[in-house]
Amino acid sequence: MREIIMNIVIFAVFGLLSVYLNTTFNLMAIDNVILAVIVGTTAVLLYIFTKDKRKYRKGIEHGSARWGAREDIFPFMDFYSPQTPKNTSNTKSSLSTKPTKPPKVIIPNKIAKSNIILTATEGLTMTSRPKLPKHGRNKNVLVFGGSGSGKTRFFGMPNIMQMHSSYVITDPKGELYLFLSKLLKRFGYDVRVLNLKEFDKSMGYNPFDYINKEDDILKVVNVIQNSTTENTKSSADGDFWTKSEKLLYMALIGYIKFHVKDKTLHNMNTLVDMVTKMEVRENDETFKSQIDKDFERIAEMHPNDFAVRQYRKFKQGAGKTLKSIIISCGVRLSVFDIAAVRRVMEQDQMKLETIGDRKTALFIITDDSDTTYNFIAAMLYTQMFNVLINRAETKYASNGNRLPIHVRCILDEFANLGKLPNFQRLISTIRSREISACIIVQSLSQIKEIYKDSMNTIISNCDSKLFLGGDDEETLKYLTRVIGKETIDTMDNSETKGKSGSFSKQYKKQGRELMTTDELARLDGGKCVYILRGVPPFLSEKYDIEAHPVYPFMQKLNKIAIQNPMQQANPNRRPHQPPQHPNKLLSSQSIKQSHNLNTRNKNIHNPTRVNKKIKGGNQL
């Protein structure tokens, strides 16, 4: 078709040319000129409408990935006024600077107080409802970082130092509490601590205080069983023992919470004592313990009571089976029978329902080398989410079911907490209640091991992903795929030697990962990769905590802990002495001799000259 159109065009052109050169070529009459014009015009139109309709994406044929630039992050950040506050010595005044329009450049490590700190130049505004809805992003952050990559220094501590929210912090080493508790108290925070490493230094936490309905009982039981299964009979003998234990737990907790009038007994200690007092005789099924008599008494008054129904199901087993179940429950609850743990569980000082009412910092200190008691932290998080969601929907219903103070959960070493019941659903719903989660893990496989098929749901509900470094293969492959491919130009050289040798070059385009797995594994220790949904990824410097505006104030409050942490661990240790001035180490006669030698040989060290430089403002 194209050849026919070209022939018609050529014919029309020759026709017009013959008329113009009528003196030389008398091939066409004037009547043929009109025909030639019509035919030529028609041919040109046909060519235009029938030319190649293929769609080319020049420059991005194999991928359009690129690194993010300044203008990409601007719509998602708040910014300080470019003018520096006059009173820079006052920490509070420097923090109260109102966000303004984006500056022409982003100054590294100068992230406004109303942002989540992610890198030295990128942050995310805490505003839940931006002016343009398309710029809205949830505040959930997924942080990947191997051991020693700086998850605490470059992400955890700087974000808590922003002090724009209430914080619930998993503190595996106790460092965050050591360095930040005084600072937060000075700025008006209500600081609470649950110390699962040294129970004698912990405030009280009573899970029974947050049980208000039957559903709450089931959630608490699920946390206990999911987090302590590996050391019990249920892991080896199947679901029968686990389900049987669950019936007994629900019956006893329901009895304690809804039928024991003395509220001082509404705690885990009473549950442990009741299991200890239970008795079953294999050869005498008519035997009734004191617990059996208590449930019979309640059944007479409330035959359809929740606790009674569960206890009836439990008692359907044979005597030998019931005895095995009771023993299994005793083994599982043995961790609560330690004196220090009983003291913590006796009364509640966490006041989880008030975390979203006023600025609060709750530190949950865990042992990074022993996960025995980490299920208590998982139980607290489960109850906290339920309590805060319920409070937002009841007390703050007029506020759109949103808490007045945003609550941020810094879940460091997230995998060590064990499985939080329904966390994959909670993380998708807490956003609308002004609650967010920062999940900090060493690798993607840690989440997969615990949450299995729910892993993708958790990951997809984190709009921000931060990679601080690591070499886990599965994590690197995932990040490489998410970062995407770019289109690059390649050149192939071909050379043939011999009598009729030849040389050729071939240029072509192909796709290449913006950062391959091996490049991610070799990422510089000061660099990080930040991925925000709907925005090109950012390859940036890690945030420098010492550049934070409140860091000097924190350093002043924790002078001994920061400058010389070994001194705090060992008070009898002699403190480090700074080097004295060179002139104080020499006598006046030595200085004079040194000066005389220096006039002959300039390579001799001159302490007097050093002293003059120091007085002039330079430092050693």
462, burial (CB in 10 Å: exposed 0-12, middle 13-18, buried 19+): buried
Bridge pairing between strands 527-532 and 538-541: antiparallel
Distance CA 40, CA 12 (A): 5
Distance CA 163, CA 117 (A): 12
Closest by CA to 19, choosing from 36, 43, 41, 39, is 36
Label residue 592 by pLDDT band (50, 70, 90): low
Residue 160, token pair as written in the block:
């808590």
What pLDDT, in 10s, does the model give residues 502-557?
A: 878 888 888 889 999 999 999 999 999 999 999 999 999 999 999 999 999 998 88
Bridge pairing between strands 407-411 and 435-441: parallel
pLDDT of 388 reads: 96
Residues of the chain with pLDDT > 90, as a percent, come to 51
- Which residues lie across from 527 on neighbouring strands? 541
The answer, yes or no, to whether residue 594 has pLDDT greater than 60, is no
Least confident of 23-32, 78-87, 198-207, 559-568: 559-568
Distance CA 171, CA 202 (A): 13
CB 397: neighbour CB atoms within 10 A? 10
Average pLDDT over residues 164-189: 94
Bridge pairing between strands 407-411 and 166-171: parallel
For 441, the enclosing helix (H) or strand (E) is strand 435-441
For 494, the enclosing helix (H) or strand (E) is strand 485-496
Residue 9, token pair as written in the block:
């065009």
What pLDDT, in 10s, does the model give residues 250-276?
A: 999 999 999 999 999 999 999 999 999
pLDDT of 51 reads: 61
What pLDDT, in 10s, does the model give residues 201-257?
A: 999 999 999 998 898 899 889 888 876 765 444 444 557 888 889 999 999 999 999
Q: In which residue are the tokens 């313990």 written?
A: 289
Q: In which residue are the tokens 């009979």 written?
A: 233
Average pLDDT over residues 113-121: 93
pLDDT of 1 reads: 55
CB 8: neighbour CB atoms within 10 A? 17
CA 127 to chain centre: 18
Q: In which residue are the tokens 């505004």 written?
A: 125
Q: What dihedral angle (degrees, nearest 10) is formed by the CA atoms of 522, 525, 530, 536?
A: -50
The answer, yes or no, to whether residue 331 has pLDDT greater than 80, is yes
Q: Is 276 or 27 the better-scoring residue by pLDDT?
A: 276
Label residue 570 by pLDDT band (50, 70, 90): very low
Label residue 279 by pLDDT band (50, 70, 90): confident
pLDDT of 316 reads: 87
Distance CA 271, CA 249 (A): 8
pLDDT of 602 reads: 44
pLDDT of 350 reads: 95
Distance CA 381, CA 170 (A): 10
Please, what is the average pLDDT of the chain?
Answer: 81
CA angle, residues 438, 543, 523, in degrees to nearest 5? 90
CA 49 to chain centre: 54
Torsion angles phi and psi, residue 602, rounded to 5:
-70, -10
pLDDT of 8 reads: 60
Residue 118, token pair as written in the block:
């992610």
Q: Are 447 and 411 in contact (CB under 8 A)?
A: no
Average pLDDT over residues 373-392: 93
pLDDT of 571 reads: 46
Sheet strands (E) in 50-179: 115-117, 123-125, 141-144, 166-171
pLDDT of 479 reads: 96
What pLDDT, in 10s, does the model give residues 37-50?
A: 776 677 666 666 66
pLDDT of 131 reads: 85
What pLDDT, in 10s, does the model give residues 479-496?
A: 999 999 988 888 888 878
Average pLDDT over residues 424-439: 94
Q: Is 367 or 49 the better-scoring residue by pLDDT?
A: 367
pLDDT of 105 reads: 63
Amino acid found at 394? T
Least confident of 443-457, 507-521, 554-568: 554-568
Q: Are 248 and 314 in contact (CB under 8 A)?
A: yes
- Which residues lie across from 467 on neighbouring strands? 144, 529
pLDDT of 90 reads: 42
Let me know how long the chain is.
620
Q: In which residue are the tokens 């017009």 written?
A: 16
Residue 64, token pair as written in the block:
């359009």
Residue 376, token pair as written in the block:
């208590």
Average pLDDT over residues 372-378: 90
What pLDDT, in 10s, does the model give residues 131-164?
A: 888 999 999 999 999 998 999 999 999 999 999 9
DSSP symbol at 144: E
Which 3-state string (H, E, C) describes 540-552?
EECCCHHHCCCHH
pLDDT of 287 reads: 83
Average pLDDT over residues 77-94: 49
What pLDDT, in 10s, does the model give residues 403-427?
A: 999 999 999 999 998 888 889 999 9
Distance CA 436, CA 286 (A): 54
User: Sign (positive/negative) of CA torsion 66, 68, 71, 74?
Assistant: positive
Average pLDDT over residues 553-578: 54
Average pLDDT over residues 77-89: 52
